[in-house]
Amino acid sequence: MASAGAGGASARDALSAATDAFSAVGIDTPRIDAEVLLAGITGRSAADLVANREEQISPAESRSFSEAVRRRLRREPVAYILGSKGFRHIDLAVDGRVLIPRPETEMLVEFALLEEPGSVLELGTGSGAVALAVASEIPGCEVTAGDVSTDALEVARSNAVRLGLADRVCFFHGTWPTPGTFDLIVANLPYVALGDDLPPDVRDWEPPGALFPGETGLECFEEVIAALPGSGVEAPVIALEVGHGQGEQVAALVRGAGFGETGIHPDLAGLERMVTGRRQTTSP
Ligand code: GLN
């Protein structure tokens, strides 16, 4: 990439050099990545940067941007470089201890909103994205969220504090909380099969424990759903994020656990992304 001189460079030059460098190594979204990185570093919105691309960026910003570009060229994800990722209406601090929240995972939050639950349990909270978005968007909802990774829990807890939601979410370590009844269980468990092709940004940088449950990709669903009856946790409704092609198998597991009415929901790209299960209530 062309180096920005000691006097700084225009945003346009910095963006086009970075975009070219990203394209050259096969990064999927070279222009967007350059804009998001420069926006994050200069504290401006990407729209503002692009609208004022002839403006100079300061030498210090130019140096930070060059360092960010170097990191991205090694395929480190943009969210780890900037240390944050937007999800629904909140910004989460993220680093290599947690999976970067994905836009498609917002479906779990959208589903929760429709259910109007008084209490939600999230399994495998990672950065806390789903639990914290639910707490921030559903006033009065009691949220409980856990993770088997103590590293992830540290990130989730500090996100809760930063967002002023620490008193709204009760975190626990492990797969199950202390026995209790919740209106809804949500989970984005690891579901990538071992042999699946992943981009290097994901494969080499995101925590394997948040991605790979085992050979088939279904192992976590099998374990968690099988353990549900013995966990002491009760809920009338469950919503699970799944990978494309897993919908039918996960729906069958969910039905086997007593949620008679299941649904397989596609994401905006038309891929199977969420399985929901509802216990059928017997009318009196
Ligand atoms: N959606 C993620 C990916 O495809 C996987 C997340 C998960 O395993 N829960 O990279």
Q: How far is CA 179 from the centre of its chain?
A: 26
pLDDT of residue 54: 92
Report how far ligand 1's centroid is from the alpha carbon of 211 (Å). Answer: 6
pLDDT of residue 3: 47
Report how far ligand 1's centroid is from the alpha carbon of 192 (Å). Answer: 6
Tell me the pTM: 0.93
Q: Is 145 helix (H, G, I), strand (E, B) or coil?
A: strand
DSSP letters of 260-282? -EEEEEE-TTS-EEEEEEEPPPP
| The ligand 1 atom nearest the CA atom of 99 | 6
- Architecture label for domain 2-74: Orthogonal Bundle (1.10)
Q: At what angle do helices 11-24 and 30-42 cross, to 10 degrees?
A: 140
Task: Classify each residue of 27-57 as buried b or exposed e, where b means 16 or more C-beta atoms within 10 Å of its C-beta.
Answer: beebbebbbbbbbbbbebebeebbeebeeeb
Backbone angles phi, psi at 283, to 5 degrees: -70, 145
CA–CA separation, 107 and 267 (whole Å): 8
pLDDT of residue 5: 44
pLDDT of residue 8: 67
Give, for all 284 residues of the chain, the pLDDT tens digit: 444 444 568 999 999 999 999 999 999 999 999 999 999 999 999 899 989 999 999 999 999 999 999 999 999 999 999 999 999 999 999 999 999 999 999 999 999 999 999 999 999 999 999 999 999 999 999 999 999 999 999 999 999 999 999 999 999 999 999 999 999 999 999 999 998 999 999 999 999 999 999 999 999 999 999 999 999 999 999 999 999 999 999 999 999 999 999 999 999 999 999 999 999 876 55
The structural domains of the chain, with segments of one domain joined by +, span 2-74, 96-278
| The ligand 1 atom nearest the CA atom of 190 | 8
In this structure, the residue with its CA closest to atom 2 of ligand 1 is 211
pLDDT of residue 187: 98
Burial (0-12, 13-18, 19+ Cβ within 10 Å), 1: middle
In this structure, the residue with its CA closest to atom 5 of ligand 1 is 211
Backbone angles phi, psi at 170, to 5 degrees: -100, 115
Report how far ligand 1's centroid is from the alpha carbon of 49 (Å). Answer: 31
Report how far ligand 1's centroid is from the alpha carbon of 172 (Å). Answer: 22
Backbone angles phi, psi at 159, to 5 degrees: -65, -40
In this structure, the residue with its CA closest to atom 7 of ligand 1 is 190
pLDDT of residue 2: 46
pLDDT of residue 284: 57
Structure tokens at 207: 């925590």
Q: For residue 132, what are the CA distances in angstroms to 32, 126, 163?
A: 27, 11, 8
| The ligand 1 atom nearest the CA atom of 217 | 8
Report how far ligand 1's centroid is from the alpha carbon of 104 (Å). Answer: 10
pLDDT of residue 281: 76
Point out which residues pair with 170 in neighbouring strands.
144
CA–CA separation, 44 and 153 (whole Å): 30
Output the ligand 1 site: residues, CB below 6 A. Answer: 102, 188, 190-192, 202, 211, 241
96-278 has which fold? Rossmann fold (3.40.50)
